[in-house]
Amino acid sequence: MLKLVLLLLLVNLFQSDERQAEREHMVVHQIQDRGVKDELTIEAMRKVDRHKLVPSEVRHLAYQDRPLPIGFGQTISQPYMVAYMTESIRPGENFKVLEIGTGSGYQAAVLAEIVAEVYTVEIVEDLGKRAANDLRDMGYQNIHFKIGDGYYGWQEHAPYDAIIVTAASEQVPPPLLKQLKDGGRMIIPVGSPFMTQQLVIVEKKGKRIRSRNLMPVRFVPFTRSK
Ligand code: SAH
């Protein structure tokens, strides 16, 4: 019995070492080589166990350069996209960030490694609950979960230093713009579902709203509750 336990422990150690090596490779070749420079973002991408947040059927693919299915017709974004979006909000250690579209919880975990508090909203109840359980098991205490339509943001904790939306919306939801701090940044894929969308960075300065297209992207659709 004891031998078996020791053997399992060894296998486990070996596997987590192997995943660490895969993750390093991902950070260098998928993220740094493509121009992500923010040290806080890179450090967070090095830390988060992405393989613990994807379904077991695709766990072996966790560090590949692609999005992966997570059930309910949804996907976990490609690692590079997560790093790029994280960097684009210029995250600071004392930030309070709102994420719309919890999904697997991976983007929330990356943010939680950097910022003070993460508030994340998911419309598919089973996904939101699974992510909350997984992230608690992984020890995250600064991520707060809500099930609901993220169109309305999370008013109770507003304003936010930054907002990350991970589902494609036809336009920027006005409640999210309202809940963004003056001087804050929001990143959001804008466009029709099932077509190429634009990743847009929105900056709020007083009454002035400045938007810039960053790159074409493909995200799952922003759905609305009835
Ligand atoms: N950030 C996620 C990506 C998940 S894909 C990750 O790191 O894994 C986008 C997610 O947005 C899906 O889980 C989808 O169910 C959710 N979503 C779509 N419309 C939404 C809405 N109106 N409010 C909240 N979540 C929404």
pLDDT digits (tens, 9 = 90+) for 126-182: 999 999 999 999 999 999 999 999 999 999 999 999 999 999 999 999 999 999 999
Predicted confidence band of residue 204 (pLDDT cuts 50, 70, 90)? very high
For residue 173, give the CATH number of its domain.
Answer: 3.40.50.150
d(CA 174, CA 50): 32
Other Cβ atoms within 10 Å of 27 Cβ, number: 22
Handedness of CA 168, 170, 171, 173 (dihedral sign): negative
- Provide the pLDDT confidence category of residue 121 given band limits of 50, 70 and 90: very high
Q: Is 74 helix (H, G, I), strand (E, B) or coil?
A: strand
Inside any domain, residue 199: yes
Residue 13: is its pLDDT beyond 80? Answer: no
* 93 CA to centre of ligand 1 in angstroms: 24
Share of the chain above pLDDT 70, in %: 100
Q: Is residue 226 part of a domain?
A: no
Flag whether pLDDT at 3 surpasses 90: no
Q: Is residue 223 in some structural domain?
A: no
| Chain mean position to CA 30 | 16
Q: What angle separates helix 2-26 from helix 39-47, to the nearest 10 degrees?
A: 150
- At 16, the pLDDT band (50, 70, 90 cuts) reads confident
Q: What is the C-alpha to C-alpha distance for residues 28 and 72, in angstroms, rounded to an integer?
A: 31
Query: Which tokens go with 196?
Result: 């190429």
Residue 43 is assigned to a structural domain of this protein: yes
Burial readout 65-99 (b: 16 or more C-beta within 10 A, e: otherwise):
eebbebeeebbbbbbbbbbbbbbbbebeeebbbbb
Residue 188, pLDDT > 80, answer yes
Residue 224 lies in a domain: no
From 102, 113, 130, mutation site for ligand 1 pocket: most ligand atoms within 8 A of C-beta: 102
Choose the residue to mutate in 97, 176, 194, 222 for probing ligand 1, maximizing ligand atoms within 8 Å of C-beta: 222
Per-residue pLDDT averaged across 90-104, rounded? 98
Judge whether 225 lies within some domain: no
Lay out the sheet containing 197-205: strands in order across: 143-147, 117-122, 96-100, 160-165, 180-190, 197-205, 208-217
Instruction: Give the atom of ligand 1 at the shortest distance from the alpha carbon of 164.
Output: 1
pLDDT confidence tier of residue 11, bands split at 50, 70 and 90 = confident
> HSE of 74 in the Cβ direction (CA atoms, 13 Å)?
24
Domain that holds residue 31: 2-217
Please give the average per-residue pLDDT across 184-200, as a whole number. 94
- CA-closest residue to ligand 1 atom 14: 101
Q: For the chain, give the number of residues.
A: 226
pLDDT digits (tens, 9 = 90+) for 166-185: 999 999 999 999 999 999 99
Question: 207, 178 in Cβ contact below 8 A?
Answer: no
What distance in angstroms lies between residue 180's CA and the mean position of ligand 1's atoms?
A: 19
- Residue 123 identity (one-letter amino acid): I
| Residues acting as catalytic residues | 77
pLDDT at site 44: 98
pLDDT score recorded for residue 91: 98
Contact between residue 168 and residue 191 where contact means Cβ atoms under 8 Å apart:
yes
Q: How many domains is the chain built from? A: 1
In a domain, 175, yes or no: yes
**Which amino acids bring their CB within 6 angstroms of ligand 1?**
74-77, 100-101, 103-104, 106-107, 121-124, 127, 149-151, 166-167, 220, 222-224
Give the Å distance between the CA of 12 and the centre of ligand 1: 31
The owner of tokens 């090596």 is: 21
| Closest atom, ligand 1, to C-alpha of 75 | 5
As a whole number of angstroms, the distance between CA 16 and CA 220 comes to: 31
User: Does a structural domain hold residue 15?
Assistant: yes
User: Is it the case that residue 226 has pLDDT exceeding 80?
Assistant: no
